[in-house]
Amino acid sequence: MTVPNVKLNNGTPIPQLGFGVWQVPDDGARDAVAEALRVGYRSIDTAKVYENEAGTGRAIAESGLARDEVFLTTKLWNSDQGFDETLRAFDGSLERLGTDYVDLYLIHWPVLEYDRYVDTFKAFQRIRDEGRAKAIGVSNFTVEALRRVIDETGETPTVNQIELHPGLPQDELRAFHAEHGIATEAWSPLGQGESLKDPVITEVAAAHGVTPAQAILRWHLQLGNVVIPKSVTPARIAENFDVFGFELSADEVARISAVPGQRIGPDPATFNLR
Ligand code: NAD
């Protein structure tokens, strides 16, 4: 099965479907990533704060795949923001990952109150110019924070990775991203499992003979989102990858977009943990 690529605004292709490893311990990440690569995923999303960069990197190295066959994302943690701090933190991530570059480096949260994300992004530009990150982007950025990065660095981040699932379709941010050529990457795309029980989703899934998780992932793909579901269960890892053999109608996409719900994670406008 071939996963389509989304072309980022710097020309770098990112697989539209990848695999996330939040809340997976380091050893478990090694196993889960190995399984995901075996099934066919070619994009892996980790972060310094997940404490599983080492296991993730080992699984990639042991997979038998060439490094350039896997799109690897990691993220800078909040306490590492600032120009010099970022350069140091990035060295640590590369060392744990056991690689000399990442495909995508993201600022994990803007931490608006700390107000260091513009300087942090300038350090990201240096890392990218050195060839140690193929693309640079952000996560959990508000429209206001995106505007400041664009205005003050003259560069538009390639990606904004945000909480997005049925019940939180993020229409305003998706419209801003579309206008500025920023790819929308959806975290907690399955609502951490919560969205799977919604009656609209179970009905749409049944109509296509697929599972609720597959129907939701298909909804993301048809909206144009890059999506990174997580599971440590081999059957689910395979199930979440098997989403290219059916298509939702425009009406089904609209019905899933209208499912009621709310944010599960912190609100980026007020999340100031360091
Ligand atoms: P998710 O929406 O991918 O849900 C994962 C959970 O859903 C699993 O733990 C399991 O309980 C359930 N599940 C998965 N597949 C299933 C299936 N086929 N059938 C039934 N249940 C299934 O949630 P997530 O892990 O929070 O998000 C995915 C990834 O996004 C993370 O692993 C991480 O890489 C990234 N993420 C990023 C941020 C950020 O701040 N940038 C925050 C959270 C997550």
- For residue 27, the Cα-to-chain-centroid distance in whole angstroms is 21
Q: How far is the CA of 173 from the centre of ligand 1 (A)?
A: 20
- What is the CB neighbour count within 10 angstroms for residue 146? 20
Q: CA triplet 123, 127, 132: central angle to 5 degrees? A: 160
Is the interface score ipTM higher than 0.95?
Answer: yes
Which tokens in the block code for residue 260? 């009621």
> Annotated catalytic sites, by residue?
50
3-state secondary structure of 52: coil
Please say whether the beta carbons of 182 and 146 come within 8 A.
yes
Partnered with residue 19 across adjacent β-strands are 44
- What is the CB neighbour count within 10 angstroms for residue 197? 10
Which tokens in the block code for residue 174? 């998706």
3-state secondary structure of 49: helix
> Of 223, 253, 251, 229, nearest to 241 (Cα)?
229
Q: How far is the CA of 195 from the centre of ligand 1 (A)?
A: 11
Q: Is 237 touching ligand 1 by the criterion CB < 6 Å? A: no
Q: How far is the CA of 95 from the centre of ligand 1 (A)?
A: 26
Nearest CA to ligand 1 atom 34: 20
CA distances 3 to 15, 39, 154, 242, Å, are 6, 12, 32, 10
Q: Is 228 touching ligand 1 by the criterion CB < 6 Å? A: yes
> Of 74, 77, 68, nearest to 97 (Cα)?
74
Please say whether the beta carbons of 222 and 244 come within 8 A.
no
- Amino acid 1: pLDDT: 73
- For the chain, the domains span 5-192+225-232
- For residue 255, the Cα-to-chain-centroid distance in whole angstroms is 24
Nearest CA to ligand 1 atom 22: 193
Q: Is 43 touching ligand 1 by the criterion CB < 6 Å? A: no
- Amino acid 194: pLDDT: 85
Q: What is the pLDDT along the chain (274 residues), one digit of tens a residue?
A: 789 999 999 999 999 999 999 999 999 999 999 999 999 999 999 999 999 999 999 999 999 999 999 999 999 999 999 999 999 999 999 999 999 999 999 999 999 999 999 999 999 999 999 999 999 999 999 999 999 999 999 999 999 999 999 999 999 999 999 999 999 999 999 999 988 999 999 999 999 999 999 999 999 999 999 999 999 999 999 999 999 999 999 999 999 999 999 999 999 999 999 9
Q: How far apart are CA 274 and CA 148, in angstroms?
A: 21
- Amino acid 40: pLDDT: 98
Q: How far apart are CA 205 and CA 213, in angstroms?
A: 8
Q: Which residues fall within 8 angstroms of residue 145, CB to CB, at 6 or more apart? A: 110, 112, 117, 138, 268
Q: How far apart are CA 103 and CA 68, in angstroms?
A: 9
Give, for ligand 1, the residue of 17, 19, 22, 218 to mutate: max count of ligand atoms closer than 8 Å to Cβ. Answer: 22
Q: Where do we find the tokens 């981040």?
A: 157
3-state secondary structure of 11: coil
Q: How far apart are CA 196 and CA 187, in angstroms?
A: 15
User: Which fold does the domain 5-192+225-232 belong to in CATH?
Assistant: TIM Barrel (3.20.20)
Q: Is 158 touching ligand 1 by the criterion CB < 6 Å? A: no
Q: How far apart are CA 233 and CA 251, in angstroms?
A: 32
CA distances 61 to 42, 54, 133, 161, Å, are 13, 10, 18, 25
